[in-house]
């Protein structure tokens, strides 16, 4: 990966207020920490897999836990975190696109290196992917169905986020903002559902559609960045990052499409089949009578 020479003066958005913990953000210190602990992320993932499958085995012989209260608190906190994250990172994205253009948004990591607000929330984003492992524990303890997409997604997101942060991959600007946006809606939905509010079904469908769109955009961004590198343009994204990113976003796309089909399309077909079967039975009874 090339060391970029910033030939243009990079401006950042004028935030109405910058907190002290944001002002004190030093991107190189956190980058060094991630680089030194990158190998540990693999260990965390191994421990995660061992815990969830041993947990499934342990719970198979026991009654499910309700955990409604803790789930409300957990989902609400992650929802709040994601909402704050989108409000602190989206302005930088919009400012970059309007003042510096699309190329800058995918190739220049100014969102980490020159913007303390967005830089701090980029750091929080990377760390939160480890915290989100906690989602799975609620599934295990409440004896809900654990699908491959769920734990595969958690593992690969952690690995990719930490790897991208370790090299300050510029394309991560897009991935982070999109993820904050989708999660702000998703965790709000989970929190309200845990509170037993009646939520229209189209909201869950919308969330899955947004996730699929997110994966499509992720694939497109990686392909565009590859083209920039191929044309020998300066771009702070490694080839390894592109391969890793394109692989996981494409597999996410396939898995989320499969989930969408099984949850909303095939399920409706089965429901229609049951109705049709009942109608036929009633029709036969009527003919017999």
Q: How far is CA 156 from the centre of its chain?
A: 10
**Residue whose token pair is 């599934």:** 139
Calpha distance 3→9 (Å, rounded): 17
Residue 230 DSSP SS3: helix
Catalytic residue among 27, 95, 153, 168: 153
Residue 125 has which token pair? 């984003």
CB 163 within 8 A of CB 38: yes
How far, in Å, are 1, 2, 30, 141, 195 from residue 237 at the CA level?
A: 6, 8, 18, 40, 42
For 217, the enclosing helix (H) or strand (E) is helix 201-230
Instruction: Decide if 154 is catalytic.
Output: no
Calpha distance 25→66 (Å, rounded): 40
Question: Measuring CA to CA, which residue among 133, 139, 148, 144 is closest to residue 254?
Answer: 148
CB 180 within 8 A of CB 86: yes
Burial of 57 (0-12, 13-18, 19+ CB in 10 A): exposed
Question: Measuring CA to CA, which residue among 123, 121, 132, 125 is closest to residue 44?
Answer: 132
Calpha distance 236→2 (Å, rounded): 6
Residues with catalytic annotation?
A: 153
């Amino acid at each position: 990966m090339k060391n970029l020479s910033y030939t243009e003066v990079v401006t950042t958005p004028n935030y109405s207020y910058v907190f002290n913990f944001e002002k004190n953000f030093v991107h190189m210190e956190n980058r060094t920490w991630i680089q030194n602990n990158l190998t540990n992320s693999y260990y965390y993932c191994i421990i995660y897999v061992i815990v969830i499958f041993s947990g499934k085995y342990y719970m198979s012989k026991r009654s499910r836990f309700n955990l409604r209260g803790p789930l409300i608190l957990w989902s609400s906190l992650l929802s709040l975190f994601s909402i704050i994250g989108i409000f602190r990172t989206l302005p930088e994205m919009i400012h970059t696109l309007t003042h510096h253009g699309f190329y800058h948004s995918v190739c220049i990591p100014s969102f980490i290196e020159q913007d303390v607000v967005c830089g701090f929330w980029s750091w929080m984003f990377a760390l939160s992917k480890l915290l989100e492992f906690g989602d799975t524990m609620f599934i295990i303890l409440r004896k809900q169905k654990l699908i491959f997409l769920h734990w595969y997604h958690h593992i690969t997101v952690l690995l990719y986020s930490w790897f991208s942060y370790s090299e300050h991959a510029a394309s991560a600007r897009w991935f982070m903002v999109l993820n904050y946006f989708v999660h702000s809606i998703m965790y709000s939905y989970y929190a309200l559902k845990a509170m037993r509010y009646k939520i229209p079904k189209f909201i869950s469908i919308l969330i899955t559609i947004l996730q699929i769109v997110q994966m499509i955009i992720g694939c497109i961004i990686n392909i565009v960045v590859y083209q920039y590198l191929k044309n020998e343009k300066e771009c702070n994204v490694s080839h390894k990052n592109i391969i890793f990113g394109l692989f996981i976003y494409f597999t996410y796309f396939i898995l989320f499409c499969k989930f969408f089909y099984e949850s909303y399309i095939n399920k409706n077909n089965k429901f229609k089949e049951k109705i049709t079967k009942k109608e036929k039975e009633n029709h036969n009874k009527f003919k017999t009578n």
